[in-house]
């Protein structure tokens, strides 16, 4: 009787699971990936794609090719509820998918809760495919606009800063017309990074004539207007939400144990605390005894131990323990081919940091291209 390994979401951890499966398939196991996207964007290169440094194929993993190479069936759909009594995942655009062992790597989306109007006006940076479609339209609009468009990015963490600098770089290159505002609700941009990194980016955004609004909370959105805490109104033509990481409702409503924010609670084996045989990795997972920020670095690092433990679970063997690194190197790009390295208290910057980042990122992508 063949056994079913079901993978939901083609995120950074699962692409490595699939690649490794292709190198050593497990006899008698059929593997299925459920993914609404046929291309996984590699987050490290996304700002470079927005800025125009990379083409689509350079920074997207072709799931069709990777799955075909590994003998994995790709189902083009998103998954919703999990029915644990029937042991199936309900799919929105496909029949229910059965599983013996289940793994979830579906990422996160910007936090829009408590922001009335945010889902109607403006666009969230994730799902990435929708954002990129919108970005293409915005670039066009900036070229034909009779006056400069006012583009507002809400969220001044690393992703928000990278996105606004990348957009500014590209629109300038296109000779488009736009002015930019970056809004953060804390006292500094890049709040979790050392002061040296914050200061370097403050200088860069100011040199780019980007207006920065700190300690500024958006309370409500209507057509063309942000209502800020304190009552101020800010007019915009485009607003982009890059506001942290939120979880979908379906893991919790399916009965999986989650943390307070709705992310799937997993142990040191990346296995659900409530459901043995169910695994999760990347942003959607919360390692309850070793919490880490939601970042692609951790999702990538979880790929190999997840692959190993899925195999062990299928064989009924003892699972491996995984301990994530305590610190991660962040290489944050600044629109032009320039980047800042942030590691613990350290800050280093220059065109050489961008070249270093580019080497790491292209080597990462090469792994999946070679499989294609």
CA–CA distance, 99 with 323 (Å, rounded to integer): 27
Could you give the strand order of the β-sheet that contains 225-228, starting from the edge strand earlier in sequence? 218-222, 225-228, 233-235
CA–CA distance, 53 with 11 (Å, rounded to integer): 23
Position among 37, 83, 174, 237 found at the interface with ligand FAD (CB under 6 A): 37
Dihedral, 353, 242, 51, 362 alpha carbons, nearest 10: 50
Nearest in space to 3 (alpha carbons), one of 254, 318, 315: 315
Stretch 185-214: interaction string toward ligand FAD, x if CB under 6 A: ------------------------------
Contact 235, 149 (CB under 8 A): no
Position among 36, 186, 196, 304 found at the interface with ligand FAD (CB under 6 A): 36
Q: Give me the residues paired with residue 334 across strands.
A: 336
Stretch 310-329: interaction string toward ligand FAD, x if CB under 6 A: --------------------
DSSP letter (8 states) at residue 244: -
Query: In the bound complex, what is the minimum distance in angstroms from residue 233's beta carbon to ligand FAD?
Result: 27
Cα–Cα distances in angstroms (integers) from residue 136 to residues 141, 229, 288, 333, in the given order: 9, 31, 39, 20
CA–CA distance, 216 with 11 (Å, rounded to integer): 32
- By beta-carbon proximity to ligand FAD, the closer residue of 63 and 226 is 63
Residue 42, preceding peptide bond in cis (omega within 30° of 0) = no
User: CB atoms < 10 A from the CB of 264, how many?
Assistant: 26
Position among 5, 10, 75, 272 found at the interface with ligand FAD (CB under 6 A): 10
Position among 34, 101, 365, 371 found at the interface with ligand FAD (CB under 6 A): 34
Query: In the bound complex, what is the minimum distance in angstroms from residue 249's beta carbon to ligand FAD?
Result: 11
- By beta-carbon proximity to ligand FAD, the closer residue of 87 and 220 is 87
Stretch 114-133: interaction string toward ligand FAD, x if CB under 6 A: -----------xxx------
Could you give the strand order of the β-sheet that contains 29-34, starting from the edge strand earlier in sequence? 73-75, 29-34, 3-8, 101-104, 278-280
Position among 78, 103, 349, 358 found at the interface with ligand FAD (CB under 6 A): 78
Position among 79, 82, 138, 266 found at the interface with ligand FAD (CB under 6 A): 79
- By beta-carbon proximity to ligand FAD, the closer residue of 127 and 186 is 127
152 lies in the site for ligand FAD, by CB under 6 A: no
CA–CA distance, 7 with 32 (Å, rounded to integer): 6
Query: In the bound complex, what is the minimum distance in angstroms from residue 167's beta carbon to ligand FAD?
Result: 10
Site for ligand FAD in 281-310 (CB under 6 A): 282-284, 294-297, 299
105 lies in the site for ligand FAD, by CB under 6 A: yes
153 lies in the site for ligand FAD, by CB under 6 A: no
CA–CA distance, 201 with 198 (Å, rounded to integer): 5
62 lies in the site for ligand FAD, by CB under 6 A: no
- By beta-carbon proximity to ligand FAD, the closer residue of 106 and 198 is 106
CA–CA distance, 314 with 263 (Å, rounded to integer): 24
Position among 13, 32, 69, 271 found at the interface with ligand FAD (CB under 6 A): 13
159 lies in the site for ligand FAD, by CB under 6 A: yes
Residue 127, preceding peptide bond in cis (omega within 30° of 0) = yes
Q: Which segment (10-18, 54-62, 190-198, 362-370) binds ligand FAD by CB under 6 A?
A: 10-18
CA–CA distance, 218 with 154 (Å, rounded to integer): 8
CA–CA distance, 69 with 22 (Å, rounded to integer): 6
Residues that bind ligand FAD (CB under 6 A): 8-13, 34-37, 40, 43-44, 46-47, 78-79, 105-107, 125-127, 159, 162-163, 282-284, 294-297, 299
């Amino acid at each position: 009787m063949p056994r079913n390994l079901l993978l939901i979401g083609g995120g950074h951890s699962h692409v490595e699971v699939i690649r490794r499966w292709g190198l050593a398939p497990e006899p008698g196991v059929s593997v299925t990936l459920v993914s609404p996207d046929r291309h996984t964007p590699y987050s490290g290169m996304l700002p470079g794609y927005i800025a125009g440094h990379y083409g689509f194929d350079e920074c997207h993993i072709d799931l069709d090719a990777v799955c075909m190479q590994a003998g994995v069936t790709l189902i083009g759909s998103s998954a919703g509820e999990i029915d644990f009594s029937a042991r199936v995942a309900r799919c929105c655009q496909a029949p229910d998918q059965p599983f013996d062992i289940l793994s979830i790597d579906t990422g996160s989306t910007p936090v829009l809760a408590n922001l009335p109007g945010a889902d109607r006006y403006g666009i969230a940076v994730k799902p990435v495919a929708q954002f990129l479609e919108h970005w293409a339209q915005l670039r066009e609009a900036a070229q034909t606009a009779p006056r400069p468009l006012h583009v507002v990015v809400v969220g001044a963490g690393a992703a928000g800063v990278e996105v606004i600098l990348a957009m500014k770089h590209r629109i300038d290159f296109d000779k488009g017309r736009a002015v930019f505002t970056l809004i953060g609700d804390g006292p500094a941009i890049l709040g979790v990074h050392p002061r040296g990194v914050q200061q370097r980016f403050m200088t860069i955004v100011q040199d780019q004539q980007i207006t920065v609004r700190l300690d500024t909370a958006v309370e409500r959105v209507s057509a063309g207007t942000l209502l800020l805490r304190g009552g101020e109104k800010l007019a915009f033509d485009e607003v982009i939400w890059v506001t942290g990481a939120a979880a979908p409702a379906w893991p919790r409503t399916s009965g999986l144990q989650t943390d307070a924010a709705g992310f799937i609670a997993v142990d040191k084996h990346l296995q659900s605390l409530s459901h043995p045989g169910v695994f999760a990795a990347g942003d959607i997972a919360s390692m309850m005894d070793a919490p880490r920020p939601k970042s692609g670095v951790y999702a990538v690092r979880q790929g190999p131990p997840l692959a190993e433990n899925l195999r062990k679970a299928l064989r009924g063997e003892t699972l491996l323990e995984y301990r994530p690194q305590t610190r991660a190197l962040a290489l944050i790009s600044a629109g032009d081919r320039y980047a800042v390295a942030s590691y613990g208290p350290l800050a280093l910057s220059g065109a050489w940091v961008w070249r270093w980042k580019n080497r790491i990122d292209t080597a990462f992508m090469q792994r999946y291209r070679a499989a294609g």
